[in-house]
Amino acid sequence: PPDVESLGRATWTFLHTTAAYYPEAPSPTQRAHMLQLLHALPQLYPCSHCADDLGARMQRRPPDVRSRAALAAWLCTTHNEVNAELGKPTFDCGRVDERWRDGPRD
């Protein structure tokens, strides 16, 4: 079976990076593609309890694909819910662009 830790790190990297470069004003087609990508995860993600968990979260708080900022915030909140469940620290969602798009400022 896959290593849930490295699979998780790789998947969060993919998802946060994709959200960071998602359009500010996505077209209806781009929104539909993002929704398809996210809704495929609870079906296909190769860690079945993670997948079930994510599916339940997405039912409670559906993905917001209306803009880059909305998607990045939705994903950060979702990742923080998983962090909380795993006893990991909460990430400051105000720093999501710095982490996944712009890099640190100094």
| Shorter beta-carbon distance to ligand FAD: residue 71 or 96 | 96
Q: State how far the Cα of 74 lies from the Cα of 62, in Å rounded to an integer.
A: 9
* Contact (CB, 8 A) for 12 and 80: no
Residue 79 C-beta: closest distance to ligand FAD, Å: 3
Does 61 help bind ligand FAD (rule: CB under 6 A)?
no
Of residues 50, 85, 58, the one with CA closest to residue 74: 58
- Taking every pair of Cα atoms in the chain, the longest distance, rounded to a whole number of angstroms, is 42
Instruction: Verify binding: residue 5, ligand FAD, rule CB under 6 A.
Output: yes
Site for ligand FAD in 66-85 (CB under 6 A): 76, 79-80, 82-83
Report how far residue 102's alpha carbon sits from residue 20's, in angstroms, rounded to the nearest whole number. Answer: 9
Note the residues at the interface with ligand FAD (CB under 6 A). Answer: 4-5, 8-9, 11-12, 16, 49-50, 53-54, 76, 79-80, 82-83, 86, 88, 91, 96, 99
